[in-house]
Amino acid sequence: MKIKSINVINGKNKWSESKDKLIHMVLDLGVYENKPSDKIEGFYERIKESLPSLQSHRCSEGKPGGFFKRIKDGTWMGHIIEHVALELQTLAGMNTGWGRTRGVKGQKGVYNVVFNYENKDSGKLAAREAFNVVNDIIDNKNPQIDIIVKKLKPKTNMQESIRRILREETKPFKVSDPSTRIEEDRVKIRLGRNMHNHFGKIQNIIIMVDDQDITSEDGVAGLGKMNIVIKDNEIIVGDIFIPEKYRNQGVATVVYQKISDYFGLPVVNSKIKGFNQTIEGGYIWKNREKFEPRNLQEQIRKVLKEETKIKPILNNMLNMLFDGFDDIYYDWAQYNCGMGVCCDPYAVGFVLPKNNYDDYLFKLVDGNNYDDDGDYPKELSDDGLPEVCYEMPDVRNPNFNFIVFYEVFAEEIENYLGRKGNWKIELLELINEKFGCKATNIIFI
């Protein structure tokens, strides 16, 4: 079986009158055109075991269990992949449930599989993963549904995703001041009053340590409290007042971090914004400047660079996003030589273990024989006999100096790590290290 294409539809379309967010996958069933589900031994039992929640799918039978009955009686893989894609999205917390699978006219074994999505990226991924899941079930392998579902959960904003990845991957979360000695979960913040003045919305924050409101310690009113102003998608913080006994424990740093996390916004210093605030009788926490939480995103990027941890993050991410990345294999790429498909002596195609031979995740190419767009120059493909490819490509040959990475896959990495500038060099290095190649540049097409 082979995925021929996956397209995202957002708007009026010929598939549905009421649904406008649809994934359209074209699927070539190959030999499975002659092997519906009842002709594959154990398929019905195995899919029931892997995805018991498909029980709720009514399908054309109109009642729960209807879809399982269709599988038992025999239905085609395109239809099954459609239901699996919907179910994977449901398990990931998204509200989907509409799908259609129809044969492509005049092309035996080729199907249009259409289903709705809530989040475009999750929908696209659901299509690919459903394909993998059904292949696993056919091959009597156990698909890792929980891992897939995790991958499908829609990514919210980039900052939040990065923060989550950092938290998971680079403990301890070192974004700030080395004097932080207090454990983060000992400190809580609580929102207090909320009002407006000419600075914008002012929120009063009450700081708790070990569930104790430290607001009124030392008998000083206003101690432990701080005011913040939310304006233009930034949080402007005033000085923070911390009682003596907590002052050197790094409470302030943790509080800044929590405020930033809570609102999902970067924190800026009030002085930069010309907003000065003093509360009588309080103490200014002197080391405050060390935190300088001007822009969280920038901080994170700095941390990423300093700790050079982006590579392991990227490596793990590649394994999560592209199933089998660690077992990726390569061979000469193919190109259209006018005599049909020829092997390309100037490019090596890298393929995930479960994908088809010509389904490259990326290519390693000889930059002298490729143009800047990553295309094999037309004049080479036009002039007669194709060149000879040797048995196996030598990826260590320094002539292979360019990596051509496909934009659709790059987009998935961007969802987590932001724009390519944040990670493309690391990706290049990672590929070089992994395969011993000597690429000096990476381009995205």
As measured in angstroms, the least distance from the Cβ of 44 to Zn ion is 15
Under the binding rule (CB under 5 A), the answer on residue 166 touching Zn ion is: no
117 or 370, CB closer to Zn ion? 117
Instruction: Tell the smallest beta-carbon distance from residue 11 to Zn ion (Å).
Output: 24
Nearer to Zn ion, 59 or 182 (CB): 59
Query: Segment 25-64, which members bind Zn ion (CB under 5 A)?
Result: 59
Q: What is the distance between the alpha carbons of residues 306 and 303, in angstroms, rounded to a whole number? A: 5
Residue 219: HSE in the Cβ half-sphere, 13 Å Cα cutoff: 0
Cα 356 from Cα 23, distance rounded (Å) = 21
Minimal distance, residue 67 CB to Zn ion, in Å: 6
Please give the residue whose beta carbon sits closest to Zn ion in the complex. Answer: 59
Nearer to Zn ion, 70 or 288 (CB): 70
Strand partners, 336: 341
Strand partners, 267: 235
Site size toward Zn ion (CB under 5 A) is 1
Q: Which is nearer to Zn ion, 54 or 59 (CB)?
A: 59
Quick one: which of 176, 22, 1, 160 has its CA closest to 99? Answer: 22
Name the token pair of 344: 């390309």
CA–CA dist 87, 81 (Å, integer): 10
Name the strands in the sheet holding 99-103, side by side, starting at the edge strand that comes first in the sequence. 2-10, 21-28, 110-116, 99-103
Query: Closer CB to Zn ion, residue 59 or residue 313?
Result: 59
For the bound state, the minimum distance from the C-beta of residue 210 to Zn ion, rounded and expressed in Å, comes to 55
Q: How far is the CB of 57 from Zn ion (least distance, A)?
A: 7
| Nearest CA-CA partner of 367 in 351, 386, 347, 381 | 347
The token duo for 54 is 């498909």
Q: Is the peptide bond between 36 and the residue preceding it cis, with omega within 30 degrees of 0?
A: no
Sites for Zn ion among residues 404-433 (CB under 5 A): none
CB of 77 to Zn ion, least distance (A): 13
Which is nearer to Zn ion, 58 or 164 (by Cβ)? 58
Return the number of the residue (29 or 347) whose C-beta is nearest Zn ion: 29
- Measured CA to CA, the distance from residue 234 to residue 122 in angstroms comes to 29
Closest separation in Å from C-beta 49 to Zn ion: 20
Contacts with Zn ion by CB under 5 A lie at 59
